[in-house]
Structure 1
């Protein structure tokens, strides 16, 4: 059978989990449709998900349609859990974007569709809740075309919209307007079809039009739109048929080199890690030894783990490749994971035995997997997590380390000076979920300090610094020279070599690159330095030396430790020379408010340093768009109900960074401070001495 790895995505409350239930029911996987409100759905398995009625973690279920096995991944809809969606994107063959016929296109809908189109992931759109009072099917379709995809095309019409009897009627070859409209749309992307269509519309067969629709949908050029109701089942059969006809099945050579990507990690009752892996190539069998890890090399823009909080990657948080034996394999069949002896290309599998594997790792040959990367904005908030009982401090660290395995973007930040742990967040709802998870699963009660905004530093100019081996005040047996320059926004951190790769051992270059990336997490003002190019301009070392009786003498020979200890001093000198500017995150917002509250709202927006654009009147209300500092979004949310008599609607999403206005915010450092050379060298000596005593 063919396999289709399908994502269900939506703005929160659009009904995607209910649609998942209906698809499983229609395929005969479940005997009764579960309810989100009752907490009885197949994919919302966490107790917290059932209590809150929202999806927090992505979940995989499967069903069969004709000769296709569909692995369906239900993703969170709330923007606070966008990291779960991000990890799923790299393993999808296609997606269904669910939109409410009542609420229409919302902020998260636009973010998701923009990303799906950029990645050229084939998308079917399902307009849900056509049976609900207030359903606006025609208006929503116009909004989809105007805000999401101009090539969206309806595959049917809705009768008795807004009533319990609403039903979806699929268009067929007997609908001339449908055939002509679809052929005209497809001809815009196919010259041969256009020529035949212009010559004689009637000569273009319906079969050819449907085949071309499937081809262009697979290329992400057009987006079929289905209408229906997950609650009543209306339109779901047409959508299910569209999955197999219009979305491409998984590709991959089962006999090729093994290559896959981890998009989710779970821990069993005994603490054993289970990795959810999409296999792009090859076949994995039980007891196979699999290499895994990040795709890393000197000179690349990758090469470090997102989070080294559990200490598995050493003191600098840098990741490394590993290898382990697969002790168990499960694949998804008819709604559940079942044990299997092997798994081949195109499938999603649960692999056990890979103890140190992490989310985002590749298994097997990384070159055979499609490129992965960050698709959504990073978290813009952080808070310090404080255990209610001081005795739980150690347990809290272990619990948060496990949560970081499942969500690396919470980015644990350990402050060794103040003995505090902070986490990165997308919003206040995520904070509540972290608090409840720590209490329910780990028995640790916590509180949080005030949520603060995560700023970044950008390099302003060019700066260089160098320290030579055995010269001046350099106490380390290493020569390191670095030049720092700004790079375009969104380009990330690039490490380049301006010296010959063979001028010293590879491990020393590796130590410098890893330490550069680690050091840039705390710049001149304590914030992460982004979008820059670091070039190594000088290198040198003391070759391995021994006494006459062949005993290695560290005091005369360079080690990787010399380069790791010297690099922060050189890099921070170069950064100070280049100069950095602190930038704060900015959100775009859209407000729909009653006209009589508009004046009072403008005054509040001014106080919050928001920059609105010209308002757009819509009946007895105004629609206002603009930008606002991320630090003020929560305050705007809290004040909106009072300002607008409970009728205002706010949508916001991260958009870009802007230079901070006014006093520059400083972030306390959490480790050795290379900006203070005397104290830094003193702390390094103490650390080295302590290590020698333990040895």
Structure 2
């Protein structure tokens, strides 16, 4: 078995390529069209109408005795979370480029992620029959911008015409030979000795060996529309990508969730090792607030992909992708069978924007909440957030297109019309010093039968929340320790200003209880009050999200665009000394051949407005892409976020609310 993903910048032709592969392998008898909305993998009505992929889709086909599961993924950057979930279950990937548009910003983002995960990649250069298609220049760009280890397997005759043909590229040449020799000592010795055994077939075998290890990346040219070059690509899947069926206990990753006709939850799982069988009880694991949590359930049905989108009741063995029923509490990212190998962090940074969602009709609040909960199961990174008094619902987003899709989905699938507030960036708080606080049983009017002391200090970015003990573990019942730690991690989702505190060290310095009156709930309720007191003494600073951007504009628009970027707090420089701006980041660019290429950073809060202004500033010729790259301290007025907890920052208010809860 082989699991591959097709990934690309939007409009590079990956869904059309998927259709052509299914046609070539005999799965379908007619090729669907993205424009006509009748492709196999874009099954949602929204996808068909808008001509874009929103949710990943699985289809199966065979090449000889090799069974291939192919996952089509979204190309628009607003749906990068869907791509992330797929990347974790792949044996290899096909990265699609347009021979006309070439290496685009999202292409580079995807290649960086694939390289970081060490996923073997084949490159397919699509649209060779289109006017303006390039070969030599594009190969140069691929090696310069994507990977220096690109090795053409096919080349093109009559490129840029309707008669364009993909033909085998010579492998026994200086360029390919040196590329392979750089990555193999044995091949290097034979190459330097001009060994007569290094035939074309020997070069091909070494290329395949290195490709399966992700050391080099074969490049195929073709056209999804005409089918030219697709047979070469399909034939190369089993040759250039790793096929394995490793043994071992059950380990499977859930990468997609959907709901059936009876509203039942269906999980898509890639089996890495072991076997998933219906009517067996399975443990599954996830990370919550930095800790590993275990659940268990009995599988009621397991269906594996057989042909196209068809599935059949069968145990899912290593390498298979299965649709699984019975995991009622499962979430995307959960791992079945074992916690070993459970990812610590995401591949891409989480969404940096947030919006409040309100029902368009009075009385639709409960229906809206239920619909958003279901959508959050399918896309957990939207992070549905509701205050404990039930007044506001908010979700996190990557961009405005995702907001439009969310509104359309709520209206068409769930019958709920919604209104959004203006999108705002999601900030974080960092701990700036050290602070300590303690609450004793019966002291200061505390109604809780618990003593808790906590010390808070800063931590390196990206290290998460670390919970340490400066007390003897046996001095407190284990359930009370667990209650304190869970409360610490939950409380830090909202710091002094309402933003998450993602990185810090919290140390438990004091404990006490009164048997038999004390209960875990006393520690769970008291901990937020103590933690916020310690956090206030330590101090926090709010940081805003910053996006990395790439921008191509006509050279004669440079001055106007630089001025707009400066107003957005991006510092911009261009070869030759032009530049300007101040504040939120740095940027560089180059001008030449009638175009300017700019790169840099700017606050996420400014991205949408800049993107909206660029067409008017560039005669409609701007090509812009951005992605979240990190955070920087907020200057000026500190933004705050409405709290959704019982407000432990204010002692009297918190105690009053806790007394009402009791």
TM-score by length of 2: 0.95
Task: Give 1:311's aligned residue.
Answer: none
Q: How many residues align?
A: 648
Query: What do residues 59-111 of structure 1 show as CA deviations (whole Å, max 9, x unaligned)?
Result: 00010012211101101010101111111111111111111111111111111
Task: Give 1:6's aligned residue.
Answer: 4
Task: Give 1:225's aligned residue.
Answer: 219
SS at match of 1:502: helix
Task: Give 1:29's aligned residue.
Answer: 27
Task: Give 1:285's aligned residue.
Answer: 277
Query: What do residues 284-331 of structure 1 show as CA deviations (whole Å, max 9, x unaligned)?
Result: 2221111223157xxx9334xxxxxxxxxxxxxxxx533222111110
Task: Give 1:503's aligned residue.
Answer: 475
Task: Give 2:578's aligned residue.
Answer: none
Offset, 1:677: 0.6
Moved more, 193-202 or 584-593: 193-202
Which of 319, 323, 335 is the equivalent residue of 1:350? 323
Offset, 1:263: 0.7
Contact 2:385 2:395 in 1 (8 A): yes
Gaps of 5+ in 1: 304-319, 546-555, 689-695
Offset, 1:468: 3.3
Offset, 1:372: 5.7
Distance 2:38 2:6 in 1: 18
Moved more, 143-152 or 204-213: 204-213
Kindly tell me: are residues 493 and 164 of structure 1, through their superposed partners in 2, closer, same or farther at Cα, counting changes over 3 Å? farther
Which of 162, 177, 184 is the equivalent residue of 2:160? 162
Distance 1:564 1:373 in 2: 27
2:252 is the alignment partner of 1:263: no
2:399 is the alignment partner of 1:441: no
2:58 is the alignment partner of 1:75: no
Contact 2:388 2:646 in 1 (8 A): no
Which of 567, 577, 582 is the equivalent residue of 1:607? 567
Kindly tell me: are residues 30 and 577 of structure 1, through their superposed partners in 2, closer, same or farther at Cα, counting changes over 3 Å? same
Query: What do residues 660-689 of structure 1 show as CA deviations (whole Å, max 9, x unaligned)?
Result: 11111111111211110111011111101x
SS at match of 2:364: helix
Moved more, 183-192 or 7-16: 183-192
Kindly tell me: are residues 468 and 251 of structure 1, through their superposed partners in 2, closer, same or farther at Cα, counting changes over 3 Å? farther
Gaps of 5+ in 2: 575-588
Kindly tell me: are residues 274 and 661 of structure 1, through their superposed partners in 2, closer, same or farther at Cα, counting changes over 3 Å? same
2:322 is the alignment partner of 1:324: no
Distance 1:479 1:92 in 2: 49
Distance 2:334 2:53 in 1: 24
SS at match of 2:239: helix
Kindly tell me: are residues 197 and 602 of structure 1, through their superposed partners in 2, closer, same or farther at Cα, counting changes over 3 Å? same
Task: Give 2:64's aligned residue.
Answer: 66
Offset, 1:498: 3.4
2:457 is the alignment partner of 1:461: no
Distance 1:90 1:225 in 2: 23
SS at match of 1:391: coil
Moved more, 127-136 or 479-488: 479-488
Which of 599, 602, 610 is the equivalent residue of 1:625? 599
SS at match of 2:196: helix
Distance 1:140 1:540 in 2: 68
Query: What do residues 246-269 of structure 1 show as CA deviations (whole Å, max 9, x unaligned)?
Result: 11114322xx32221111111111
Moved more, 465-474 or 485-494: 465-474
Task: Give 1:571's aligned residue.
Answer: 531
Task: Give 1:450's aligned residue.
Answer: 422
Which of 330, 334, 338 is the equivalent residue of 1:361? 334
Distance 2:125 2:464 in 1: 37
SS at match of 2:276: strand
Distance 1:114 1:64 in 2: 29
Offset, 1:536: 2.4
Contact 1:22 1:233 in 2 (8 A): yes
Task: Give 2:242's aligned residue.
Answer: 248
2:347 is the alignment partner of 1:375: yes
Offset, 1:470: 4.5
2:332 is the alignment partner of 1:336: no
- What RMSD in Å do the two structures reach over aligned CA positions? 1.8
Task: Give 1:176's aligned residue.
Answer: 172
Which of 586, 589, 601 is the equivalent residue of 2:546? 586
Task: Give 1:550's aligned residue.
Answer: none
Contact 2:172 2:199 in 1 (8 A): no
Query: What do residues 331-358 of structure 1 show as CA deviations (whole Å, max 9, x unaligned)?
Result: 0011123222311121111111111111
Contact 1:5 1:250 in 2 (8 A): no
